[in-house]
Amino acid sequence: MATLTLPALIDIHVHLRDPGATHKEDFATGTAAALAGGVVAVLDMPNNTPPTTDEAALRRKGELASTKARCDFGFYLGATVGNAGQSVGIHEVAGLKMYLNETYGPLQLEALSTVMAHFRHWPRGKPIAAHAEQLSTAVVIGLAQLYGRSAHICHVSRKAEIELIRHAKANGAKITCEVTPHHLFLTEQYAERVGGFGHVKPALGTPEDREALWANLDIVDAVASDHAPHTIEEKESETPPPGVPGLETTLPLLLNAVAEGRLSVERLVELTHHGPARVMGVRPPEESYVEVDPDARHLLHGADLLTKCRWTPFEGMRVQGLVRSVYLRGTRVYEDGEVLAPPGSGRSLVLS
């Protein structure tokens, strides 16, 4: 059996739902899913209930994560009308998250003045990450240039967006971006077939959008799962919330792309380890790696997953490439389906 050892993954975009929606996921289950996917560090988004937008919410999340997380973690502060220029959590968070389009939760910003205030005040050395679709992509690029700072565009999904980002980078804008596996491997045809289970923001694109992401993968800085679990009941309801889980399927899907000759191993490591660390300015945990069997073929099944929601948009997909063992700071934390790291063993990526 061939074994390939890779630097462990860093996932800069996950929603672990703790606190507020722990029937969907919590820090213990979400980080178990992370380890099963070869991910040893996650950056958690702020659209919780209550949203992570002030010191009290950050403190609460910190307490929960430090007692429950099995892998390393960091948080985003959610940008609001009220916290622009308030320096909330600047020493505790990995970055600021700004929602400029419709999303899940209450954090969408409406006024240009609010967005400008955040760009003006947020420390230059800390990332601003944006959910920015369509025209909002151009807004983020324009503001980053005007305020002389960097900005990170989350889950790029459309041809025009990735082409605009390519253009911006070529012209010296300090823009970074991530793409998700669901936008790389699925299209709107899938969403039409499976209803609520394919409902995600940004929506799954056309085949042309998907191919544009592949064609421009050379200017993409990171692959992030945007792991956004909702229960099967919620997804089957009349009003399914947007979002799909992804922590456990990112690496098998990318290894399969390597097996198919669509991606090199070097590029996979860049997109899942070095790039994410660089974009978010975090130091990856030492001695942390994943042993994979690049030849093992298997079917992706929601019922096999450790995420609390136990479904996957990649159900039944045949992939080549299996995570065997995961090491975090020299300790084996996952082996052949079993998570060995207890809750509370994860550390903050930001505070030391």
Residue 47 interface partner, choices ligand DOR, Zn ion, none, CB cut-off 5-8 Å depending on type: ligand DOR
Residue 242 interface partner, choices ligand DOR, Zn ion, none, CB cut-off 5-8 Å depending on type: ligand DOR
Q: Which residues 128-187 are close enough to bind ligand DOR by CB under 6 A?
A: 131
- Give the CA-trace dihedral at 132, 180, 348, 346, to 10 degrees: 150
Nearer to Zn ion, 226 or 248 (CB): 226
Give every CB contact of residue 233 below 8 A, 6+ residues apart in sequence. Answer: none
**In the Cβ-directed half-sphere of 124, how many Cα atoms lie within 13 Å?**
6
* Cα–Cα distance for residue pair 273/89, rounded to 1 Å: 25
Stretch that binds ligand DOR, among 135-143, 172-180, 236-244, 301-309 (CB under 6 A): 236-244
> Helix, strand, or coil here: 170?
helix
CB of 14 to Zn ion, least distance (A): 8
The reply to whether 75 sits near ligand DOR by the rule CB under 6 A is no
* Tokens encoding 136: 């909002």
- Give the CA-trace dihedral at 7, 13, 19, 20, to 10 degrees: -140
Nearest to 342 by CA among 69, 74, 72: 69
Nearer to ligand DOR, 16 or 88 (CB): 16
**Interface pick for ligand DOR out of 158, 201, 210, 308 (rule CB under 6 A):** 201
Position with the least CB separation from Zn ion: 131
* Cα–Cα distance for residue pair 279/151, rounded to 1 Å: 9
The reply to whether 227 sits near Zn ion by the rule CB under 5 A is no
The reply to whether 227 sits near ligand DOR by the rule CB under 6 A is no
Nearest to 274 by CA among 149, 170, 176, 140: 176
The answer to whether the beta carbons of residues 285 and 41 sit under 8 Å apart is yes
Position with the least CB separation from ligand DOR: 243
DSSP state of 264: -
Stretch that binds ligand DOR, among 70-78, 158-166, 240-248, 296-304 (CB under 6 A): 240-248
The reply to whether 161 sits near Zn ion by the rule CB under 5 A is no
The reply to whether 240 sits near ligand DOR by the rule CB under 6 A is no
* Tokens encoding 93: 């968070």
Stretch that binds Zn ion, among 25-33, 81-89, 90-98, 125-133 (CB under 5 A): 125-133
Nearer to ligand DOR, 198 or 285 (CB): 198
Report the Cα–Cα distance between both ends of the chain, in Å, rounded. 39
Q: Which residues contact Zn ion by CB under 5 A? A: 131, 226
Residues at the interface with ligand DOR (CB under 6 A): 15, 47, 103-104, 131, 200-201, 228, 241-243
